[in-house]
Structure 1
Amino acid sequence: MTPPLVAVAHGSRDPRSAATVRALVDVVRAQAPAVDVYESFLDLSEPPVTAVLRRLYDQGHREAVVVPLLLGSAYHARVDLPALVDEVTTDRPDFSVRVSDVLGIDPALETVALDRIAAADPAAPGTGIVVSGVGSSNAGANAAVADLAARWEKRLGVPVSEAFASAAQPDIPAAIARLRARGTRRIVVASWFLAPGLLPDRIATLADAGEAAFVAGPLGPDPRVAEVVLHRYAAAVPQPARLSS
């Protein structure tokens, strides 16, 4: 039996975030009709991942694959999620729950993010690009976004800086100042967020403060994002999963 796929997002007080996650899960279902796919959340949104896993066990499932809908491998992926899975499996030793890699800095997701800023002509002379992400206390997670910005600079031939909504520097004003110091005249802000929410709104507010910047939307329920979810799932099952009927 093909194990169910439990997609788990961070969760947010902003209802747009959960709605976007559910829309993405719908796309995943459409791409893999042979797989049972469920949405869940670490916090703040319903249903929690622990409740979904317990329900699957009660329905008779003895295997499941959890796919973190996270763009970085930081505290939520390394600590929070494993602890929640352990909470479920500790008293269910016959329940095998595998946790896949995070979505991470995947080339397909980079393409989606670049498509979101395409209308702003990001390679035009005088343009500076900000790659905005959530920010983390984990230096490696922040470095991955900085590496992404460096790749885009080489690819597009314009100055690019990373920026973070919380927990790390540079923030949006500092990133824009860094780009202005390099001679940029117009600012384009790319979104390294999966869904809308409070932190992307903070990014947009700071970017628009006297700058009239172009601010892109998040990755959202794009079919290419769904494909990455299914790739992470397939890599985590014992045998290659049949993703379509």
Structure 2
Amino acid sequence: MAPAPVLLVIAHGSRDPRHAATVHALTRRVRALRPGLRVETAFLDFNAPRVEQVLSALHADRVHDVVALPLLLTRAFHAKADVPAVLAEALVRLPGLTVRVAGVLGPSPLLTEVLELRLREAGITPTERAGTGVVLASAGSSDPEAIAVIAETAREWRHTGWCAVRPAFASGAVPAGCSRTEDAVRALRAEGVRRIAVAPYVIAPGRLPDRIASGAREAGADVVAGVLGAAPQLARLLLRRYDAAVTVPAGARLPAPAALTA
């Protein structure tokens, strides 16, 4: 029986050491949930090991079947350009390597579960839910598909009992029609929402999550939750995406750069 494909978790990377520490904590949790599955961690930038280094090491170990899983919440630039580019280069350089690319993490009810968990940890009780407005604060993107997914996630979450859920963005270039975290907090306050919580829709700490938190506090948010982090639900979601990728028929794998960018 052939061994299971290696799971390669690809994170963006950050100069903030908390980022890599969180990613490694998450992949350790994945290993604990699936003993026997080889799980490797790689980064696109700032941190080591880089994706190309890990793929070269796997190739040297005679591993030929890999599932690459982008540790991303939406299909924005990194999922559509950066990850395919680095994998395409590896496929040219490493003959015999086969890579299937798993889907990004969002949207998923498991991510909403983690958001709820972080808000409870921050002090929001079930009895306060109906009187609390939530700002769903993501890192931000200029990609219309990613923006639409964040907006839809906020709309769906609103139906679970919060008095309001508004999407917001932390990046410098906020898309037209969207709000910064601090602006979303102020807008909810102006509408008469008495208690406002900010829920970062970000996996690991870093510059943008810090900007979310500082903007929330500057605007007077009552509660600022933690990032998604290495939550058990997130580890289970990674394995769901892996399992879905493994079921792709052999003929539909991605053995060539053209297929990776299709």
Q: Structure 2-normalised TM-score?
A: 0.87
> Judging changes above 3 Å, is the alpha-carbon distance between structure 1 residues 91 and 215 closer, same or farther for their aligned structure 2 residues?
same
- The yes-or-no answer on 1:176 pairing with 2:185 is yes
Which secondary structure does the structure 2 equivalent of 1:230 belong to? helix
Q: CA deviation at 1:42?
A: 1.0
> Judging changes above 3 Å, is the alpha-carbon distance between structure 1 residues 181 and 34 closer, same or farther for their aligned structure 2 residues?
same
Pick from 159, 166, 172: which aligns with 2:164? 159
Pick from 217, 220, 223: which aligns with 1:214? 223
- The yes-or-no answer on 1:28 pairing with 2:37 is no
Q: CA deviation at 1:146?
A: 1.1
Q: Which 5+ residue runs of structure 1 have no aligned equivalent?
A: 241-245
1:243 aligned residue: none
Pick from 187, 195, 203: which aligns with 1:194? 203
Please list every run of at least 4 consecutive aligned residues from structure 1 whose deviation after the TM superposition is greater than 2 angstroms. Answer: 121-127
Q: CA deviation at 1:181?
A: 2.8
Distance in 2 (CA, whole Å) between partners of 1:149 and 1:91 is 42
2:259 aligned residue: none
> Judging changes above 3 Å, is the alpha-carbon distance between structure 1 residues 180 and 212 closer, same or farther for their aligned structure 2 residues?
closer
Larger deviation, residues 179-188 vs 119-128 = 119-128
Q: Which 5+ residue runs of structure 2 have no aligned equivalent?
A: 250-262
Q: What is the number of equivalent residue pairs in this alignment?
A: 240
Which secondary structure does the structure 1 equivalent of 2:159 belong to? helix
- Letter of the structure 2 residue corresponding to residue 12 of structure 1: S
Is the 2:182–2:219 Cα contact (8 Å) retained in structure 1? Answer: no
- Letter of the structure 2 residue corresponding to residue 188 of structure 1: A
2:150 aligned residue: 145
Q: CA RMSD in A?
A: 1.6
2:52 aligned residue: 50
Q: Deviations over 1:132-185 (max 9, x none)?
A: 101101011011111111122222140211110113231012211221232112
Q: Structure 1-normalised TM-score?
A: 0.93
- The yes-or-no answer on 1:237 pairing with 2:246 is yes
Which secondary structure does the structure 2 equivalent of 1:33 belong to? coil
Percent identity, aligned pairs only? 44
- Letter of the structure 2 residue corresponding to residue 152 of structure 1: W
Is the 1:127–1:187 Cα contact (8 Å) retained in structure 2? Answer: yes
Which secondary structure does the structure 2 equivalent of 1:8 belong to? strand
Distance in 2 (CA, whole Å) between partners of 1:137 and 1:153 is 24
- Equivalent residues in 2 for 1:69-80, closer than 5 Å: 69-80=71-82
Is the 2:19–2:204 Cα contact (8 Å) retained in structure 1? Answer: yes
Is the 2:103–2:241 Cα contact (8 Å) retained in structure 1? Answer: yes
Which secondary structure does the structure 2 equivalent of 1:146 belong to? helix
- Letter of the structure 1 residue corresponding to residue 246 of structure 2: V
- Letter of the structure 1 residue corresponding to residue 28 of structure 2: D
- Letter of the structure 2 residue corresponding to residue 148 of structure 1: T
Larger deviation, residues 220-229 vs 115-124 = 115-124
Distance in 2 (CA, whole Å) between partners of 1:101 and 1:239 is 12
- Letter of the structure 2 residue corresponding to residue 32 of structure 1: R
Is the 1:160–1:179 Cα contact (8 Å) retained in structure 2? Answer: no
- Letter of the structure 2 residue corresponding to residue 131 of structure 1: L
Is the 1:159–1:182 Cα contact (8 Å) retained in structure 2? Answer: no
Which secondary structure does the structure 2 equivalent of 1:218 belong to? coil
